[in-house]
Chain A
Amino acid sequence: MELHKLRRVYIEFASIVFRDGFLDNQYTLLQQLQDESEPKFVLQVGTLFLEDSEKLLNELRSILDQQDVDFEKLDAFVCKLTGSSASIGAKRVKDVCMAFHDCCKKGNKEGCLKCLQQLAAEYRLVKRKLETLFKMETQILAAGGSVPLLSQ
């Protein structure tokens, strides 16, 4: 696909991702931080986020599998995911984390289980969006172009 088309498809896809709230302007900020010294910064941080989130979700599942849930430990992991999702701009994941945090504070196991289910679903969705964005960004750069900056 020629560069002009690649950029257009990228912008169209990204606009929907932003419109539907999967990503917010924090992602744009990360794009703006990318420079010659770290030309793959967004890809690196995004990949870190996906890897780290899988680990955190596994930790959350493991804690909630216990008969006696350690809500403090659970909340600690939820806070980690809140921070990293905020840092990458994964807004919907962050929003579920905040609801999850409230359930942890109240010691509400059922609420936590529902939040975990929602969180896993939102994570799967944003993972697909990010992977598609990264693939397109790589294609644009390989074609000699620059990645358009996105915004809400």
Chain B
Amino acid sequence: MSSPRGGDKERGRDGERQIHVLAVDDSPVDRAVIAKLLRSSKYRVTAVDSVKKALELLGTEPNVNMIITDYSMPEMTGYELLKRVKESPTLREIPVVIMSSENDPDKINRCLEEGAEDFLLKPVRPSDVSRLCGRMRS
């Protein structure tokens, strides 16, 4: 993980509570790029390489404003993470964004129907991140 967990709310330099995004991707390259894109937009980022680690974090760190996850991962997919989040009374309000390198309409529809906030095709760009700004959980 690339950012410390903590019970206290993290604050930016001006004292405002920083938006905390959980990024999930088993590709080290994609994880580094999405984390950097998000940090450049002044978000606090925790990046993990599996759904298992994401769920562990979500169990202990309540202050996650958005989850952005790759779709295709071994063991548990981003779609399965989405379902778990939306089925959980404590987590269901967290917006979940899915990323994929594959432009598969069936996959996209399935995720949106399951409650995904958005579906982004890789490579993720700054304009994609800007678009997500207004949809973070407050």
B93: Cβ under 8 A from any A Cβ: no
Q: Is A83 a contact partner of B70 (Cβ separation < 8 A)?
A: yes
Partner pick for A83 among B32, B39, B101, B126, CB 8 A cutoff? B101
Please, how many residues of chain B have a CB less than 8 angstroms from a CB on the other chain?
A: 22
Partner pick for A86 among B26, B32, B101, CB 8 A cutoff? B101
Q: Provided the pairs A26-B123, A33-B40 are in contact, do residues A82 and B102 lie with their beta carbons within 8 angstroms?
A: yes
Q: Is A52 a contact partner of B27 (Cβ separation < 8 A)?
A: yes
Note all chain B residues with C-beta closer than 8 A to A125.
none
B36: Cβ under 8 A from any A Cβ: yes
Minimum Cβ distance to chain A for residue B76 (Å): 13
Note all chain A residues with C-beta closer than 8 A to B123.
26, 29, 86-87, 89
Note all chain B residues with C-beta closer than 8 A to A52.
27-29
Majority secondary structure, A binding face:
helix
Q: Provided the pairs A38-B36, A83-B70, A83-B101 are in contact, do residues A48 and B28 lie with their beta carbons within 8 angstroms?
A: yes
B107-138 at interface with A (beta carbon < 8 Å) = 122-126
Listed in ascending order, the chain A residues whose CB lies under 8 Å from chain B are 26, 29-30, 33, 35, 37-38, 41, 44-45, 48-49, 52, 76, 79-80, 82-84, 86-89, 101
Q: Can you report 28 residue pairs joining A to B where beta carbons are below 8 Å apart?
A: A29-B123, A29-B125, A33-B36, A38-B36, A41-B32, A41-B36, A45-B29, A45-B32, A48-B29, A52-B28, A76-B72, A79-B72, A79-B101, A79-B102, A80-B26, A80-B27, A80-B72, A82-B102, A83-B70, A84-B27, A84-B30, A87-B27, A87-B30, A87-B122, A87-B123, A88-B29, A88-B33, A89-B123
